[in-house]
Amino acid sequence: MSTTTPTVAVRNLVDGQWTDSVTGRTAERRNPADERDLVSTYPESDAKDAEAAVAGVRAGWHEWAAKTPEQRGAVLEKAATVLEGRRASLVEELVREEGKTRAEATMEVSRTPMNLRFYAGEALRTTGSTIPSSDGSLLFTWRGPVGVVAAITPWNFPLNIPSRKLGPALAAGNGVVFKPSEVTPLLGTRLVEALLEGGVPAGALAVLHGGAEVSKALVADDGLDAITFTGSTAVGESIHSVVRASQRTQLEMGGKNPMIVLEDADLDRAATLIAKGAFGLAGQACTGTSRVLVHADVHDALVERVAAKAEKLRVGNGLTDGVDAGPQATARQRDNVVGHIRRALDAGSRLVTGGPEAPEGADLAHGHFVRPTVFTDVDPGSALATEEVFGPVLAVLRVGSFDEAIQVAGATRYGLSAGIVTNDLARAMRFAREVPAGLVKINQTTTGQSMNAPFGGLKDSSTQTSKEQAGEAMMTFYTADKTVYLSA
Ligand code: NAD
């Protein structure tokens, strides 16, 4: 462990002031690759903190809304420049706090300022429409901010996901109460620091640290006009059960993403795409490949190739050169994943590689590591075939036809991402039309999206109230339309 790794005490931002929780309680966030490394401490906030944060932004957001679109855009641009200037330290902090590899963290740290710049442009591009009127009056729609938005985010992209919520929310002139994951309080704080340095008035932005307690209080607060959440389906559904009818709500949730490989596929290409989608980010991507639906004729040949790739991966601390896969982000997450592996074994699935035992190595002794794991002979009705694991565990299911593959692909409650490997254009088209997934990938990994393309799931993966990430679609969520009739 490096001696140049200080612990950062992060604080809430309430009513324009960096502050501790009224509870006085704090919690620790330790490096998931090495629990001896204390990365950050954060306030364990409760309902009183949430109430104060929302009240502060309610009082302060109008100052921000009154800025011109050019001014708001310039602030986001400057925040992006601040983040770019801190790239090296952000990469190191992201690896230490969340557990990505250096390469994965570098990608995220690069993407976040790009998101802010993209939404800086959207501040100027958000337009309404004029409508032919029957009486010669000027009839038009006028778009303004929604008001006070709560943004609740997960830990797996602690800069990138908040940036694609705070970026468009602020571009449109809203005030924001941001509740980062309790797993990544430092990275959430780093984004806020950059936004304040860029020029967002502190009264228009609040940060609340902590877990379910403060988050539940936040979503129940009457002072919110909108809630944007990314996280698990279970938590998303619990939020949905308490929001008011008038509260705009966007819930982006879990997935159980399939990759179809039929008898015509290039198996080397398929194995490469599957291994990347399943084991990249140590399996902790919402769009990660967690099921492979493979034709019986090529089943064994594909499994052999995927297993060989899984076995080659070096698991370890993301700051160590040559490491391909980091740890699970928390001990709880590791235990969950190992629990899934054990239950799959009990259910009779065949373990091809990996397994529930922790990987060996002195450098792995203090982290939450899981072996990249592949199962075959998975019962389509079993937990491994239907529930989100969110770890490096792949369920391979044998299918007899394209029809069966499409049917099995749709046989879970989720509908986030789905992929197919094929050179058959007719099959690719039919797959795109019929597979129930918001993101359809043909000859690509199930993971990874373009920052300017709509992103969101179907079925229980999303409320489908608005697509994330895609310029205009995002601005729709963060703006309220009025229809104006104007006669001189
Ligand atoms: P999580 O649902 O446990 O937590 C997400 C956020 O909600 C955190 O900030 C957490 O503190 C807060 N929270 C926890 N309990 C709450 C409650 N009862 N009420 C209100 N808020 C509460 O998810 P996680 O473990 O941080 O992230 C992993 C999950 O996120 C996976 O299911 C993954 O698929 C999903 N995810 C989805 C997308 C997407 O775009 N669809 C992207 C990334 C992650």
Q: Is the pLDDT assigned to residue 405 strictly greater than 90?
A: yes
Q: Around Cβ 192, how many Cβ atoms within 10 Å?
A: 23
Residue 320: both structure tokens together: 């160590």
Q: How far apart are the first and last CA of the chain?
A: 72
Burial of 392 (0-12, 13-18, 19+ CB in 10 A): buried
15 secondary structure, DSSP code: T
Q: How confident is the model at residue 5 (pLDDT cuts 50, 70, 90)?
A: confident
- Taking CA atoms only, the protein residue closest to ligand 1 atom 30 is 231
3-state secondary structure of 206: strand
User: Is 252 marked active-site?
Assistant: yes
Reference 313, options 274, 350, 285; nearest CA is 274
203, 273, 361, 412 from 430: Cα distances, Å: 51, 21, 47, 19
pLDDT band at 3 (very low <50, low <70, confident <90, very high): very low
Q: What's the alpha-carbon Rg for the chain, to the nearest Å? A: 23
The predicted model gives 19-42 an average pLDDT of: 97
Q: How many CB atoms lie within 10 A of CB 105?
A: 26
Rounded to the nearest angstrom, the distance between the alpha carbon of 235 and the centre of ligand 1 is 6
Residue keyed to tokens 């300022």: 113
Q: What is the pTM of this model?
A: 0.97
Nearest-CA residue for atom 12 of ligand 1: 212
Which H helix or E strand runs over 466? none
* SS3 at position 287: coil
> DSSP letter string over 95-163?
HHHH---HHHHHHHHHHHHHHHHHHHHHHHH----EE--SSS-EEEEEEEE-SEEEEE--SSSTTHHHH
CATH class of segment(s) 8-253+462-486:
alpha beta
Q: Which tens digits make up the pLDDT trace of 115-143?
A: 999 999 999 998 999 999 999 999 999 99
Backbone angles phi, psi at 103, to 5 degrees: -65, -45
Question: What is the 212 CA–ligand 1 centroid distance (Å)?
Answer: 10
> How many angstroms separate the Cα of 267 from the Cα of each of 123, 126, 147, 300?
45, 45, 51, 11
The edge-to-edge listing of strands for the beta sheet with 8-9 is 8-9, 34-43, 26-31
Tokens 């002031």 sit on residue: 17
- The class level of CATH for 257-442 reads alpha beta
Residue nearest to atom 14 of ligand 1 (CA): 212
| pLDDT digits 0-9 by tens, 167-209 | 999 999 999 999 999 999 999 999 999 999 999 999 999 999 9
Pick the catalytic residue from 104, 182, 193, 252. 252
Tokens of 105: 């963290």
Alpha carbon of residue 177 to chain centroid = 18
> What's the CA gap between 431 and 425, in Å, rounded?
10
CA dihedral sign, ordered 5, 155, 114, 315: positive
**For the segment 356-400, what is each residue's pLDDT rounded down to a tens digit?**
999 999 899 999 999 999 999 999 999 999 999 999 999 999 999
Q: Residue 252 CA: which ligand 1 atom is closest?
A: 41
pLDDT at residue 471, rounded to an integer: 64
Question: What is the Cα–Cα distance from 149 to 229, expressed in whole angstroms?
Answer: 10
Q: What is the pLDDT of residue 470?
A: 66
User: Tokens 């160590």 map to which residue?
Assistant: 320
Mean pLDDT of 259-270: 97
Q: How many other CB atoms are found less than 10 A from the CB of residue 7?
A: 13
Q: Whose CA is nearest to atom 9 of ligand 1?
A: 181
Domain locations in the chain as residue ranges:
8-253+462-486, 257-442
Residue 385 has a pLDDT of 98
Q: What mean pLDDT, rounded, does the chain reach? A: 96
CA of 218 to the centre of ligand 1 (A): 15
Q: Are 205 and 178 in contact (CB under 8 A)?
A: yes
Mean pLDDT (whole number) for 429-456: 95
**Dihedral sign for Cα atoms in the order 450, 178, 244, 256:** positive
CA–CA gap between residue 6 and residue 39 (Å, rounded): 7
Q: Which one-letter DSSP state was computed for residue 382?
A: S
Note the Cα 415 to chain centre separation in Å: 15
pLDDT computed for residue 451 by the predictor: 87
Whether residue 426 has pLDDT greater than 60: yes
Q: What was the pLDDT predicted at 2?
A: 46
Strand partners, 291: 258, 395
Strand pairing of 17-19 and 12-14? antiparallel
Question: Among 303, 252, 308, 257, which residue's Cα sits nearest to residue 283?
Answer: 257
Q: How many other CB atoms are there within 10 angstroms of residue 127's CB atom?
A: 9
Note whether 293 and 437 are within 8 A (CB): no
The minimum-distance atom of ligand 1 relative to the CA of 254 is 34
- Binding-site residues, ligand 1, Cβ < 6 A: 152-156, 179, 181-182, 211-212, 215-216, 219, 230-232, 235, 238-239, 252-255, 286, 388, 390, 416, 457, 461
SS3 content of the chain, % helix, strand, coil (to 5): 40, 25, 35
179 CA to middle of ligand 1, Å? 11
Q: Could you tell me the distance, in angstroms and rounded to a whole number, from the CA of residue 127 to the centre of ligand 1?
A: 32
Nearest CA to ligand 1 atom 18: 212
The residue whose C-alpha atom lies closest to atom 26 belonging to ligand 1 is 154
Q: Which residue has the tokens 């159980």?
A: 256
| CA distances (Å), origin 68, targets 1, 71, 326, 439 | 48, 5, 43, 35
Question: Which atom of ligand 1 is the closest one to the Cα of 231?
Answer: 30
Query: Quick check: 337 pLDDT over 70?
Result: yes
